[in-house]
Amino acid sequence: MMKFAYPASSSIDALTPQQTALKIARHCPCTACGTCKGLHPSIGVHVVLDDGFRESILGDLGQYGSDDDEDQPSIPPYLDICACGHGVAEHGANESQIGTEEYRRRASYAIRIDENMQDEGKLLDFAYSDPDIESLRARMTLAPVSMIAPSQPANYDQRHKSPHKSSPASGLRDLPPPLKKRRISMSTLSGDDNDDDEEPLATRVTQKTAPAKSPTKPGKGVKFVPAAGRMPVANGKTNVEPGPRIKIEDKLDDAQLDRLATGVPVDSETTAPPVRVEKAAAIELRQGIIQIMPVQNDRQPHSMVLMTGLKTLFQKQLPKMPRDYIARLVYDANSRALAIVKRGYKVVGGILFRPFPHRGFSEIVFFATASVDQVKGYGGMLMDHYKMHIRKAYPDMNHFLTYADNYAVGYFEKQGFSKEITLDRSVWAGYIKDYEGGTIMQCTMLDKVDYLDKANILAQQQDAIMSKIRQMSRSHVVHPGLPQFQEGAPEGVTVDPKDVPGLRETGWTSSMAENLTRLIPKSPDRHFMDRLLKDLQEHNQAWPFLKPVSAEDVPDYHDIVKKPMDFSTMEHKLDNNHYQTVEDFVNDARLVFDNCRLYNLEDSVYHKCANTLEKFVNEQLKERIKRES
């Protein structure tokens, strides 16, 4: 029987390139055959665990040779060929193809999956799987925008060191430490887990067509109004063929108007108002299937069980976070948590936070739900209960701060968080740490809002707004059709806009028609520049380049940098069509990075930020060229 080895190490830095590739390939589907879900051994192949004996053998005498070599146990080679006949490169472990950053991200996921399988005693069982592992594998091979992917803390036990004394390349003067920890309050919640997904206030009216009494004549039907800037002279003859006739709109009664205002088409079969579907999370909470419990380290058995459940949940759902780091924060006596508990002691969701009552804010550390329950609305429900819990437990605390990964920004925005930090920096600086790879966000609670009754509050606001709209709007008034477009009217008759019933009542003037300009659609190049600039501005390393450098903060900057440039200036130039080509846009972006490297020392945080963003721009340009080729 053939024997192969599988690495047991759970540290990405301790793995050799071959070991890392094997771990990634095990959990990635084969791109060559399409049927293999991951690299696995063939029938008759025995896989053993490489628990480090290879290093102990070669560490001392292996490189010099030894008379005892014959007594050493044989070292089987690592598994490198799948039962499907393909290697690690076809199973998502081709670093040259996917890039170093994506390669390391997949390796982090693969290590976390192996850790979970090790806990179950299934590390060498290549056929084993469970919902959590399947969820991690799906996120490993394709991370959706709405999925939260927290970053791994770097040297989180070390103190922050002061940066080298150098000036930034932007107007942001709040200097983050160059050596930042990378713990970000993330969740595995998707952007669809949101309680604010309301239906539109009104939908398009499906117009009723009366039965035709005679066959439709050619050219009859719906008339499209020509552009105002090319309107023919009143009562004159047009030099173009007349368009199809206008169809007279049916008048709507009050009942139809009310239904239209609530988002129901007027010709819908049912007359009942739309019913908001209750989410599964709310149903389970009402029926007692789940409970939301506050948890802290009071050393009571019940609390320790729940805290251990939270630790396990965060470790499974946040694969890029070190396990010991998560455990240390969960069991910290200064941490508090809310846990979603199902049927006793099973933790299926949780939020870990650190309150600072004397400063008036709380820091959200971790936020996650079990992968199998993410579609039930647990995330939005947990955030609402968290806000009300804070209001009850800490009446003077109205602000929340969190560091959100770029993937999580959208989710937190839906929960009321904003990138605009209105809380004075002196209030929170020094109490929460700056973290690399995250965007700081803030949420401020409204005193008059009961967050557990949002649905009713929003419904009342919608009713009030629609009532005001009905009082002021004249959109329900239907004027009779113009006689020039009625059946039997002569062909080729034009209409003066001033004679159109209801047009003057809207405030229309003839000068509006003269000033109208035809909208020019954006070119593919413009779309690319818009997207690239937006991605640059939202990048977690972009903070030094968002605004121009202030001469007051850096007096000698303009003596050294003769052509300053920043992202806000690029945005202004892009909005005013100053970039004729993508090359002009990229040249300005490179100017930003060159200026930064010119002014700042090589070991400064600003120099590193410039290198990171320039690499990002180059990758985007390569992808664009690949798509167009």
Active site residues: 363
Chain mean position to CA 405: 8
CB-based burial, 379-413: b 16+ in 10 Å, e otherwise: bbbbbbbbbbbbbeebeebbbbbbbbbbbbbebbb
Q: Where is 137: in which H helix or E strand?
A: helix 131-141
30 within 8 A of 73, measured Cβ to Cβ: no
Q: Where is 50: in which H helix or E strand?
A: strand 45-50
Degrees to nearest 5, angle at CA 122 with 120 and 126: 145
What does the CA dihedral 422, 425, 426, 430 come to, rounded to 10 degrees?
A: 140
Quick one: which of 427, 411, 362 has its CA closest to 390?
A: 362
281 within 8 A of 383, measured Cβ to Cβ: no
**Tokens 């100053």, located at residue:** 578
Q: What is the DSSP letter of 237?
A: B
What string of H, E and C letters represents the secondary structure of 546-581? CCCCCCCCCCCHHHHCCCCCCHHHHHHHHHCCCCCC
Degrees to nearest 5, angle at CA 141 with 136 and 145: 85
Quick one: which of 95, 93, 84 has its CA closest to 43?
A: 84
What is the Cα gyration radius of the chain?
A: 32
What does the CA dihedral 527, 530, 535, 538 come to, rounded to 10 degrees?
A: -150
Rounded Cα distance between 602 and 612, Å, is: 13
41 within 8 A of 126, measured Cβ to Cβ: yes
Rounded Cα distance between 497 and 513, Å, is: 9
Q: Would you call 204 exposed, middle or buried from its count of C-beta atoms within 10 A (0-12, 13-18, 19+)? A: exposed
Rounded Cα distance between 19 and 35, Å, is: 24
122 within 8 A of 26, measured Cβ to Cβ: no
CB-based burial, 450-469: b 16+ in 10 Å, e otherwise: ebeeeeeeeeeeeeeebeee
533 within 8 A of 571, measured Cβ to Cβ: yes
Rounded Cα distance between 273 and 262, Å, is: 7
Q: Which amino acid is at 576?
A: N
**Tokens representing residue 560 in the block:** 């050294």
586 within 8 A of 620, measured Cβ to Cβ: no
Pairing of strands 346-356, 399-404: unpaired
**Tokens representing residue 410 in the block:** 């959208």
Q: Which amino acid is at 459?
A: A
Q: Where is 511: in which H helix or E strand?
A: helix 510-515
439 within 8 A of 447, measured Cβ to Cβ: no
| Residues 6 or more apart whose Cβ sits within 8 Å of residue 624 | 528
